[in-house]
Structure 1
Amino acid sequence: MDESHDEVKPQIIIIKRIKKVKKHGHHGGSWKIAYADFVTAMMSFFLLLWLLSLLNKSQLRSIAEYFKHPQKTGLVQQGTKINKDQKFDFYLEKGKEKEKWKDLEKEKQKEKEKEKEKIKSPLQTESKMNEGKKDKLMMDKMDKILAMKKDFEDKLASHPELSQFKNQLNFVVTADGLRIVLRDLENKSMFTLGKSDFEKYAKPILEWLTKELNNYPNQLVIIGHTDSAKFKNGKYTNWELSVDRANATRRTLINYGMDPNKVMRIIGEADTDLLDKNNGLNPANRRIEIIILTDEAVNKINKK
């Protein structure tokens, strides 16, 4: 055996160290957070822009004013208390805009009032003129009635035979004209008791009245009144008696020469309109009333 083969050569061990070079690796999840913040900020920004696009000019001016003077002014929410001494350099929507609308509404209202005044002015002038005419006509009418009343009273007082009956003849000015009242006195009746026949002394009064009534063109209404005494039989009442006495007066005046067309109405009112309301049996309640009508009163009667 060869000795050379008996020697064992030492085995050389080679250790190869590989140096690993680290490439750029990931940085964890921090970048995601940063990106999310960026996206959120952009969304907020665009949301802000969208909200700003919805505001009107007044609100935009208010926001701009706030950023100019953040310590002096700001948006005022509903219900916020404001100090009396606090001054604002701007108007909010509920301030300046409302003031503008109020001013416009006031101007429109003024214009409407002016137009109304233009329309009303001629009408008011005409109305005042008509009222003035009506007042003048009313005064003229009253003057005529008063003059008529004085004429009757003066002639009655100066009449030698009829002056004794001045307590039975009254002249009253009314809205419808002059009311002539012929009333009974105690123990001195114009009519026979319970009948429509005139007593003898009453006829000269009616004759004188006829003459005086003919001096005026006015038409007449004759009204009969009674006291509250009742008839025993019940078939003939104060209603019939009052009408019969009014009609008897009409006939007597016509017999003495009065135009029949002067009488428009004869009316019987029985004891419904007593002169002495506390004593229905007072003789003064028995009376005849002759109303000398104004033109207006005649028109009222004709319309009825």
Structure 2
Amino acid sequence: MAGKKDNQRPIIIKRKKVVEGGHHGGAWKVAYADFVTAMMAFFMLMWLLNATTEKQRKGLADYFSPTIAVSRASGGGDGALGGRSMSTDASQVQLGRGGITPSEANGTAAEDATLAAIEAAIMGKGGDSLVDEELLRHVTVRLTDEGLVIEFFDLPGSPLFEGEEPTHLMSRLLASVAPALREHPNALAIEAYTAAEPVVTREPMVWPLSSARADAIRRALPEADVVDGRVVRVTGHADRRPAASDPLSSRNNRIEIVVIRDRVAPRR
């Protein structure tokens, strides 16, 4: 009987229940990592506020809060976007619809006001533009340390030059911007660029061609009542510094008229 009772004795199994979390869990590590990341971002922000100028901070703010819609016009470039950039101001300038591009130019308030007045007259900021809407497709304006750069460029089917001589289109563009140039006596510089030659030649023609085009613009300025004596530099850059990724693109055929800041000494 004793042996039978022993066989009927209940067997008790104790299982240890493991509870995740507490000070032995890993959830606190995630929270701590988030805290460290937030603190690093905070100190980075404080450093940027201390290390940048008011103009640079405004540029950063404008970048993250654009106020101009992407332009509906095309700049004549290649690619799916037709030469357009997805950014607002940059796109507007590429397409000939924008104002002064953001830059690292460090000028005085008076200089910037003078250059802004020229830009506003050409691009029609706050009123009618000196340049017709059709012609504006060929124009961009940007601010640099040297001054205000007014750029005229070819579009497919609309060249600004026939060989070395300006087309009627180029003459109309010069006549359109001349009133703004006449109002301000700043010195001027003329820069000419060309598209690359499709075939490599022993004597590249892009150098004499760009130089001849720059000089043709210099000779055309007096016809628009802009005094020739204001021109302090005439340069042909050939196919250097292309504006389009394709060196053969017609967009690389362009003329730049630089309205030089008073404080900038002309380059020799």
TM over 0.5: yes
Q: 1:239, 1:157 → 2: CA distance? A: 40
Give the Å deviation of 1:152.
1.9
2:60 maps to what in 1?
none
Structure 2 residue 198 is the aligned partner of structure 1 residue 211:
no
Q: Which amino acid aligns with 2:226?
A: M
1:152 maps to what in 2?
122
Q: Report 1:1-304 matches (<5 A).
A: 138-154=108-124, 158=128, 162-192=132-162, 195-230=163-198, 234-235=202-203, 237-276=205-244, 278-297=245-264, 299-301=265-267, 304=268
Higher helix share: 1
Q: 2:177, 2:110 → 1: CA distance? A: 24
Give the Å deviation of 1:145.
2.0
Structure 1 runs (4+) greater than 6 angstroms displaced: none
Q: 2:129, 2:241 → 1: CA distance? A: 31
Name the larger-Rg structure: 1
The answer to whether the 8 Å contact 2:164/2:212 transfers is yes
Give the Å deviation of 1:137.
6.5
Q: 1:236, 1:259 → 2: CA distance? A: 33
Q: 2:126, 2:199 → 1: CA distance? A: 35
Secondary structure, aligned partner of 2:246: coil
Q: Which amino acid aligns with 1:295?
A: D
Give the Å deviation of 1:154.
1.1
Q: 1:164 to 1:267 in 2, by over 3 A?
A: same
Q: 1:222 to 1:243 in 2, by over 3 A?
A: same
Give the Å deviation of 1:184.
0.3
The answer to whether the 8 Å contact 1:196/1:241 transfers is yes
Q: 2:148, 2:228 → 1: CA distance? A: 19
The answer to whether the 8 Å contact 2:121/2:129 transfers is no
State the TM-score, normalizing by the size of structure 1.
Answer: 0.49
Secondary structure, aligned partner of 2:134: helix
Q: Which amino acid aligns with 2:211?
A: V
Which structure 1 residue ranges, 5 or more long, are not aligned?
Answer: 1-135
Q: 2:107, 2:248 → 1: CA distance? A: 41
Q: 1:287 to 1:157 in 2, by over 3 A?
A: farther
Q: 1:258 to 1:139 in 2, by over 3 A?
A: closer
State the TM-score, normalizing by the size of structure 2.
Answer: 0.55
Q: 1:156 to 1:191 in 2, by over 3 A?
A: farther
